[in-house]
Amino acid sequence: MELIATAHNGPAGIAAARLGEEDCRHNFCEMHSPLEANGARVEAERCYFCFDAPCLEACPTGIDVPGFIRMIANHNPAGAAGLILQENIMGGTCARACPVETLCEHACVRNQDDDRPVTIGLLQRYAVDQALDQDVNYFSRASDSGRSVGVVGAGPAGLACAHRLAVMGHSVVVYEAREKTGGLNEYGLAAYKMLNDFAQRESRFITSVGGIEIAHGKTFGHDFSLADLRDRHDGVFLGLGLGGGNTLGIPGETSAGVEDAVDFIDRLRQATRLSSIPVGKRVVVIGGGMTAIDVAVQAKLLGAEDVTLVYRRGPEQMKASAKEQDFARIRGVTIRFWAQPESVVHQDGSVTGVEFHVTGGPDGQRRPPNFVLDADMVFKAIGQAPQPLAEALAGFKRERGRLVVDANRLTSQAGVWAGGDCIAGGDDLTVSAVQDGKLAANAIHETLSAGGTD
């Protein structure tokens, strides 16, 4: 690949156009090659179609996995997509970004030492993509109920809730702070997972059912309040997501070249030219979840020469699965365990490295002294903090800043439901956010149908 010399953007060592645009586009290709028709049928025929299918139980949205796979085996991908979308309206995104290796595919009965699981994620993607390509219409609205619901946030939870409510005949207004619909799917997932503007394509499919208005540029707690929502609507759903990234709380953290991983991914996803995104020559990523893997891999794909991901515990404790860890290593990322940042080393206000101390390791292993990794760019990927909405959410029961909800996703405030990353006890997955929205919509519909909330 051809390296292109350019002026530095910011601290020394951080530069755009480390690779040409063509090389960047080549690097950001499909993470996994999608299945074609014949390959999908062959893979589908590997399924045992279990009666008490453990893969179904492992799916947070309860998709009839053996049912849709049987339809693919019987040359009916459109029917398969119908089964998927009935339970998970974002089946296309989840097929691309869901950690299937720890959910449905992990539970597959073929997942044995001498075999491999059925590639459920790829089969789901094949079916949904076929349906979107053919513009199949699966949903129609019930007669107008005369009731309306205000949804805050056009992310996975908000859109899933809005879609199900619209199908049931209710009118929905989704209030979204940003200019695009999709939330995390649009702004937070790795670019190599969501190619060809798929998040927007899926959002258009969801809202095409009718009865859903998206009000962009509307920020909760600034442009409108909970009281406003109660005045305008018969029910309220909060899909607020999370706020900014957590801080490391160490000396030197504010040095130039230290960035929040989510902000970097956001800029990358919205860039018209991948090569325009400045990246360091030597990059250190601090964290152990999917965001850490995503930002580390993308830094490498943009031309960073050395990328090291450092996690404070062992590989088994990482939120990122073993499969994702291997994916990062294959693409040149070094992963180091049992080390925690102690300070950011800097010179003239710009980062030059990170000092770590060893936190542990295998029993009996001698702990070495602190060590320093040279770096001209550091990414913080240690999770996001709850939205700083103390006044807007006054009166709500919260746990560590997140909203406490019951099994139906009802908050401590009557007539207000919530879901997605903003609620306590979740696992911060798109598929779980979709399930939250779906369960909340069912509960809202039942309440409205009984004449409740005004």
Mean of the per-residue pLDDT values for the chain? 93
Write the class of the CATH domain 14-26+248-380.
Answer: alpha beta
Q: What is the pLDDT of residues 188-245, one digit of tens each?
A: 999 999 999 999 999 999 999 999 999 999 999 999 999 999 999 999 999 999 888 8
Band of residue 101 on the pLDDT scale cut at 50, 70, 90: very high
| CA nearest neighbour of 440 among 164, 205, 143, 148 | 164
413 within 8 A of 392, measured Cβ to Cβ: no
| pLDDT computed for residue 366 by the predictor | 56
- For residue 42, the one-letter residue type is V
- Decide: helix, strand or coil at residue 48: coil
pTM for the full model? 0.93
- Is the pLDDT at 170 greater than 50, yes or no? yes
- The residue with tokens 């208005």 is 213
What's the full length of the chain, in residues? 454
| pLDDT computed for residue 174 by the predictor | 98
| pLDDT computed for residue 367 by the predictor | 62
| CATH 3.50.50.60 applies to domain 148-243+398-449 | yes
The H-assigned helical ranges of 28-110 are: 37-44, 54-58, 65-73, 77-87, 91-97, 104-107
| pLDDT computed for residue 428 by the predictor | 86
- Is the pLDDT at 41 greater than 90, yes or no? yes
Distance CA 184, CA 98 (A): 13
Question: Which residues, 6 or more positions from 113, have their beta carbon under 8 angstroms from its beta carbon?
Answer: none
- Is the pLDDT at 4 greater than 50, yes or no? no
- Is the pLDDT at 271 greater than 50, yes or no? yes
Distance CA 366, CA 100 (A): 37
**Taken in order 102, 405, 383, 359, is the CA torsion positive or negative?**
negative
Neighbouring C-beta atoms of residue 367, cutoff 10 Å: 10
Question: Which residues, 6 or more positions from 51, have their beta carbon under 8 angstroms from its beta carbon?
Answer: none
| pLDDT computed for residue 2 by the predictor | 33
Angle at 373 between CA 367 and CA 377, to 5 degrees: 145
Q: What is the pLDDT of residues 319-350, one digit of tens each?
A: 999 999 999 999 999 999 999 999 999 999 99
Superfamily grouping for domain 45-133: Alpha-helical ferredoxin (1.10.1060.10)
- The two tokens of residue 267 are 């800029």
Neighbouring C-beta atoms of residue 66, cutoff 10 Å: 20
Distance CA 354, CA 368 (A): 16
- The residue with tokens 């009557």 is 414
Residues of the chain with CATH 3.50.50.60: 14-26+248-380, 148-243+398-449
56 within 8 A of 68, measured Cβ to Cβ: no
Q: What is the pLDDT of residues 351-404, one digit of tens each?
A: 999 999 998 776 545 566 789 999 999 999 999 888 888 788 889 999 988 999
Neighbouring C-beta atoms of residue 1, cutoff 10 Å: 12
**Taken in order 42, 44, 49, 55, is the CA torsion positive or negative?**
positive
Q: What is the pLDDT of residues 109-137, one digit of tens each?
A: 999 999 999 999 999 999 999 999 999 88
| CA nearest neighbour of 152 among 186, 175, 128 | 175
- For residue 79, the one-letter residue type is G
Burial class from Cβ neighbours inside 10 Å (0-12, 13-18, 19+) for residue 395 reads exposed
